[in-house]
Amino acid sequence: MSFAINLLPPEYLPQRRSLPKGAIIAVALGGLLLTLYLIFLLQWALASRRAALLEDQLALYEPQAQQAATSKSAISEWQQKERELQRLVKERRRWQPVLAAINDALPREIWLARLEANEAKGELILAGGSTSLQAIGNFLNNLQASGLWQAVNLQEVKGNGSSLAFTIQAVFKGTRPETGQSETARAVPAPSDATRANPDSINANREGNSK
């Protein structure tokens, strides 16, 4: 067993050098900041990757979303068209008895040029031509006999004996004179462009029936 003994005086012995306290604190803080920065970089990389994955998923679902929006718009448009068609069919059904009665009441010597419904007054204006004054009178009687109107009035007759132009006012049943409103007129509204009475078709039907 051996022992090493240093016999040098203390002033010649090697001195251990220690870092200043401030330097130690600075090194510790630097290491902490470096660690936090590395953690931040790691989290930022993970967040970027998640964002990229979400963008890829959104890109996959975007065509489907656009298709769904287009389908929804198309469905809404078709529903609106269906409601409009139902309204037109309903109005057409309401006006069919009126047009049929006018067609049945037309003598052969009369043709219609204009039909105009006034919902506020509850009346129907019929304008046309004839070659006989007696035929106009027969038309008035036939309209009154149909039972659809409260009153049928001849408003105007113009022309000579062989070419006459007339205007007839047919008031629907239920019209109140003091207000000009009519329950029948409200039940049978004024026809729209799609359901407006066509005098040519009435005249054509009349000619067909006469044959």
**Residue in 96, 119, 89 with CA at minimum distance from that of residue 183:** 119
For residue range 42-58, list pLDDT tens digits in order.
888 888 888 888 888 88
At 125, the amino acid letter reads I
pLDDT at 60: 80
Give the residue from 105, 134, 157 where a domain finishes.
Answer: 105
Same domain, 27 and 86: yes
pLDDT of 205: 54
Question: What's the CA gap between 110 and 100, in Å, rounded?
Answer: 16
Where a domain ends, among 71, 105, 139?
105
Convert the pLDDT of each residue in 2-32 to its tens digit. 666 666 566 655 666 666 777 778 888 888 8
Distance of CA 142 to the CA centre of its chain: 44
Q: How far apart are CA 162 and CA 97, in angstroms?
A: 31
Who wins on pLDDT, 92 or 182? 92
Q: Domain containing 145: what range?
A: 109-172
pLDDT reading at 84 higher than 80: no
Integer angstrom CA distances of residue 174 from 87, 122, 167, 187 = 24, 8, 22, 11
In a domain, residue 133? The reply is yes
96 and 117 together in one domain = no
**Greatest alpha-carbon span in the chain:** 161
Does pTM top 0.85 for this prediction? no
Residue with tokens 């054509």: 204
What values do phi and psi take at 119, rounded to 5?
-65, -35
CA end-to-end span of the chain: 150
Question: Do 130 and 116 form a contact (C-beta atoms < 8 A)?
Answer: no
Q: pLDDT: is 128 or 12 the higher one?
A: 128
Q: Are residues 100 and 135 in the same domain?
A: no
Two tokens, residue 159: 């022309």
Domain count along the chain: 2
Report how far apart, in Å, the C-alpha atoms of 172 and of each of 3, 182, 188 are.
Answer: 139, 7, 10
Burial 73-86 (b: 16+ CB within 10 A, else e): eeeeeeeeeeeeee
Beta strand extents in 48-186 (DSSP E only):
110-118, 123-130, 149-159, 164-172
Is 210 within the bounds of a domain?
no
Query: Do residues 52 and 77 both lie within one domain?
Result: yes
Does 101 lie in the same domain as 119?
no
Q: Residue 116 is part of a domain; what is its CATH number?
A: 3.30.70.330
* Residue 182 is assigned to a structural domain of this protein: no
DSSP 157: E
For residues 37 and 71, state if they share a domain. yes
Classify residue 100: in a domain, yes or no: yes
DSSP structure class, residue 182: B
Q: Is 112 helix (H, G, I), strand (E, B) or coil?
A: strand
Looking at the structure, do residues 93 and 113 belong to the same domain, yes or no?
Answer: no
Instruction: Quote the strand ranges of 99-195, DSSP E.
Output: 110-118, 123-130, 149-159, 164-172
Pick the last residue of a domain from 105, 123, 151.
Answer: 105
194 within domain boundaries:
no
